[in-house]
């Protein structure tokens, strides 16, 4: 999966460049995210602005990332389209993750 990344004030920002995080792209996404975490990236902002669709595989990856960083950091989500945010709401994961309208708000929340 193609990702854009940068670090700002020890916050690691990840932006998937794919329209879908589904069973086809989720394994690659997970592999990249685990690599970042193993490199010491523990406070992560996931910018979902380019993502139009997410399925249970994609949700599973995001939850597994949270479990990996939770002891030493956190993951916060931003810029999610309604179609993506509604999947989090349907699965009650909107109670687990913090959502922000902008990347800047998400970074500043740490």
Checking if the pLDDT of 9 tops 90, the result is no
Backbone angles phi, psi at 100, to 5 degrees: -130, 150
What is the spatial distance between Cα 100 and Cα 107, in angstroms, rounded to a whole number? 9
- Of the pLDDT bands very low, low, confident and very high (cuts 50, 70, 90), residue 54 is very high
What is the per-residue burial (b if ≥16 Cβ within 10 Å, else e) of 84-100? bbebbeeeebbeebebb
Residue 31 CB neighbours (<10 A): 11
Residue 59 has pLDDT above 90, yes or no: yes
| pLDDT of 71 | 86
- For 13-41, what is each residue's pLDDT tens digit? 999 999 999 999 999 999 999 999 999 99
Domains delineated in the chain: 3-108 (3.30.750.24)
**For the whole model, what pTM was predicted?**
0.92
Confidence label for 1 from pLDDT (cuts 50, 70 and 90): confident
């Amino acid at each position: 999966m193609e990702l854009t990344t940068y670090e700002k004030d020890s916050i690691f920002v990840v932006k998937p460049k794919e329209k879908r995080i589904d069973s086809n792209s989720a394994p690659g996404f997970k592999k990249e995210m685990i690599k970042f975490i193993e490199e010491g990236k523990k406070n992560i902002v996931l910018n979902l602005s380019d993502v139009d669709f997410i399925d249970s595989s994609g949700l599973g990856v995001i939850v597994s990332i949270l479990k990996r960083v939770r002891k030493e950091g956190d993951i916060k989500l931003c810029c999610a389209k309604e179609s993506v945010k509604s999947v989090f709401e349907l699965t009650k994961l909107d109670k687990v993750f913090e959502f922000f309208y902008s990347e800047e708000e998400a970074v500043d929340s740490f």
